[in-house]
């Protein structure tokens, strides 16, 4: 039977800087009455990875540059927030009232450099925002290794976030970091039953699983920041999220 | 327990024009040892819906227009195929060697107007291609009604296809037609635990489920053209795929 099962892991507490994510995940797997099996994929929300890695920034400590001040006027956002977005980006692609689309330093094209202002606040009502992990592939690999150290089971790890799309409303889950899971699965060379090459040749398998997990994670703090997926249909292998990033030379919509 | 389960339905035969899809699906559900339950969502590959609706076209019967001939020279595709792509589209957005990105008459921005040359061929090696369903929402609704007529169970139906993305490699499953499933889920107004509005406000839930199903459908003819999904976390409701189409006025990347 070809079946994919995703379980939203219950009871994961608020994650603090330095938290042992693998430990928290394994406790949640146990709480769900499951055990980690070889070939399972753990999908983890960016938010808790960023929190564990101390990627929060106090807005009060940010001094906006002249460029950030100017851009903040165009998009109508807090200049300190725009300063952080610029620091996290290689290029501003579009700036309109309410919208700032950038190429992130990690290569992703996304709104607001993935900087999440909701769901984070410090003591005394300080405004704190959360940046993407420094290197999400490395974060995923660390968690994968910690899971292996704890259970001797080979799993895949995906760190996911929700991105908008150019021509479709709403966000969907995408992979921003992977370990042990093929980000892209290349079906080129597999002929169909008439012997013709398949029209669809490369599948963004990690994005598809990230979207599936995102669906049951929910979006608010009452959501579930990690999902255990069983039944990923392709062989696990070393991979990197760069496989999913379209090279500039092939980008028709910059 | 918050859990999403997707079962790829086995043994669905080659689908002929006029086929009773709901009947084929229910037989496959039985073959899988399952029963349809209220709240289940059936995700069906565009290919079998198009086949059942007789949306195949013999290339030999197509006469390319002057515009198709010219464009075929640019993109390096069969002029008859380009003629069909133009007929199915409102606008050509990008034309490059090997690539034709259009706005489909249904509003989707996608490559080659979703026309699938693989996996279809007629007797005597005729070249036959498959267009998207005339009205995928109506197709989904019909199947939903047929399922209800057969089992008295309220289900959702999504027709999915695989689209590329502007800035990411590989295709992912997306919804091209829905019935009874919210295409877009609006979380605006749900504050986070600090009382701030959520940054992520609209979730393309039908696309996330379409992607999940696509992952286990596979892409070749050895794949599975329908998936039974249980555990969709939002309330079922009447909807249309138009909810997912970004209006031109909000499109920054045309």
Instruction: Tell me B221's DSSP state.
Output: T
Per-residue pLDDT at B95 exceeds 90: yes
Phi-psi region of A99 (alpha: psi -120 to 50; beta: other; left: phi over 0): beta
Domains of chain A, first to last: 5-55+133-246 (3.30.1330.100), 56-130 (3.90.1660.10)
Q: What chain A residue is nearest to B249 in terms of C-alpha separation? A: A167
Unique residue bearing structure tokens 């590329």: B164
A70: enclosing H helix or E strand: helix A66-75
Contact: B165, A220; criterion CB under 8 Å? no
Q: Which of B150, B137, B169 is nearest to B238 (CA)?
A: B137
Q: Is the pLDDT of residue B119 over 50?
A: no
Could A167 and B245 be called an inter-chain contact, meaning their C-beta atoms sit closer than 8 Å?
yes
Give the up-direction half-sphere exposure of residue A37: CA atoms within 13 A in the CB hemisphere: 8
Residues of B with Cβ-Cβ distance to A244 under 8 angstroms:
168-170
Q: Give the gap in angstroms from C-alpha B227 to the nearest C-alpha of chain A.
A: 9
* pLDDT, tens only, B155-165: 999 999 999 99
| Chain A residues lying within 8 Å of B200, measured CB to CB | 118, 162, 171, 219
Neighbours of A142 (CB within 10 A): 18
User: Which residues, other chains included, contact B73 with Cβ-Cβ below 8 Å and sequence gap of 6+?
Assistant: none
pLDDT band at B223 (very low <50, low <70, confident <90, very high): confident
Residue B121 has pLDDT above 80, yes or no: no
Tokens 């029209």: give the residue. A199
Q: What is the pLDDT of residue B125?
A: 72
Could you read off the pLDDT of A74-125 as tens digits, one per residue?
Answer: 999 999 999 999 999 999 999 999 999 999 999 999 999 999 765 455 566 7
Find out whether B15 and B24 touch, Cβ atoms under 8 Å: yes
pLDDT value for B199: 57
pLDDT of A223 above 80:
no
| Residues in chain A closer than 8 A to B89 (CB atoms) | none
Which pLDDT score, from 0 to 100, does residue B22 have? Answer: 98
Predicted interface score ipTM higher than 0.90 = yes
Provide, rounded to the nearest whole percent, the portion of chain B with pLDDT above 90. Answer: 86
Computed over every residue of chain A, the mean pLDDT equals: 93
Percent helix, percent strand, percent coil in chain A, to nearest 5: 30, 25, 40
Tell whether the model's pLDDT for residue B56 goes beyond 80.
yes
B-interface mutation test, from A12, A100, A129, A170, most B Cβ less than 10 A away: A170
Query: Has residue B240 got a pLDDT over 60?
Result: yes
Question: Is B244 in Cβ contact with A233 (below 8 Å)?
Answer: no
The predicted pLDDT at position B116 comes to 79
Which residues of B are less than 8 Å from A248 in CB distance?
Answer: none
A-chain CB neighbours of B214 within 8 Å are 203, 208
pLDDT of res. B201: 83
- Assess A249–B contact: CB distance below 8 Å, yes or no: no
In the predicted model, is pLDDT for residue A21 greater than 60? Answer: yes
pLDDT tens digits, A167-190: 999 999 999 999 999 999 998 766
Please check whether residue B121 touches A, CB under 8 A: yes
Q: What is the pLDDT of residue B193?
A: 55
- Specify the pTM: 0.95
Taking only residues 21 to 80 of chain A, the set having a beta carbon closer than 8 angstroms to any beta carbon of chain B reads: 32-33
**A219/B187 touch (CB, cutoff 8 Å), yes or no:** yes
Q: Does A98 touch chain B (CB under 8 A)?
A: no
The closest CB to that of B244, out of A3, A170, A253, belongs to: A170
Q: Does B211 touch chain A (CB under 8 A)?
A: yes
- Say if residues B68 and B86 touch (Cβ distance below 8 Å): yes
Q: Number of CB pairs < 8 Å for A and B?
A: 250
pLDDT at A229: 98
- Integer Cα distance of B217 and B221 in angstroms: 10
Question: Cβ–Cβ of B220/A4 closer than 8 Å?
Answer: no
């Amino acid at each position: 039977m070809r079946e994919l099962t995703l379980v939203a892991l219950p009871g994961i507490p608020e994650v603090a800087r330095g938290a042992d994510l693998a430990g928290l995940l394994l406790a949640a797997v146990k709480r769900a009455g499951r055990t980690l099996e070889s070939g399972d994929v753990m999908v983890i929300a960016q938010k808790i990875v960023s929190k564990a890695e101390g990627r929060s920034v106090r807005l009060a400590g940010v001094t906006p540059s002249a460029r950030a001040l100017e851009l903040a006027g165009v998009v109508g956002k807090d200049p300190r927030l725009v300063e952080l977005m610029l620091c996290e980006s290689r290029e501003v692609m579009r700036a309109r009232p309410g919208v700032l689309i950038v190429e992130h330093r990690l290569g992703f094209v996304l709104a607001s450099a993935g900087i999440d202002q909701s769901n984070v606040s410090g003591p005394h009502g300080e405004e704190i925002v959360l940046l993407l992990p420094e290197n999400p592939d490395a974060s995923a690999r660390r968690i994968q290794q910690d899971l292996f150290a704890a259970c001797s089971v080979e799993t895949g790890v995906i760190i996911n976030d929700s991105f908008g799309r150019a021509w479709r409303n709403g966000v969907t889950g995408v992979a921003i970091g992977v370990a042990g899971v093929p980000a892209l699965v290349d079906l080129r060379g597999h002929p169909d039953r008439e012997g013709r090459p398949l029209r669809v040749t490369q599948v963004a398998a990690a994005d598809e699983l990230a979207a599936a997990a995102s669906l049951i994670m929910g979006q608010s703090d009452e959501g579930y920041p990690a999902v255990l997926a069983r039944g990923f249909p392709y062989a696990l292998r070393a991979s990197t999220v760069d496989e999913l990033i379209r090279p500039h030379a092939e980008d028709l919509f910059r």
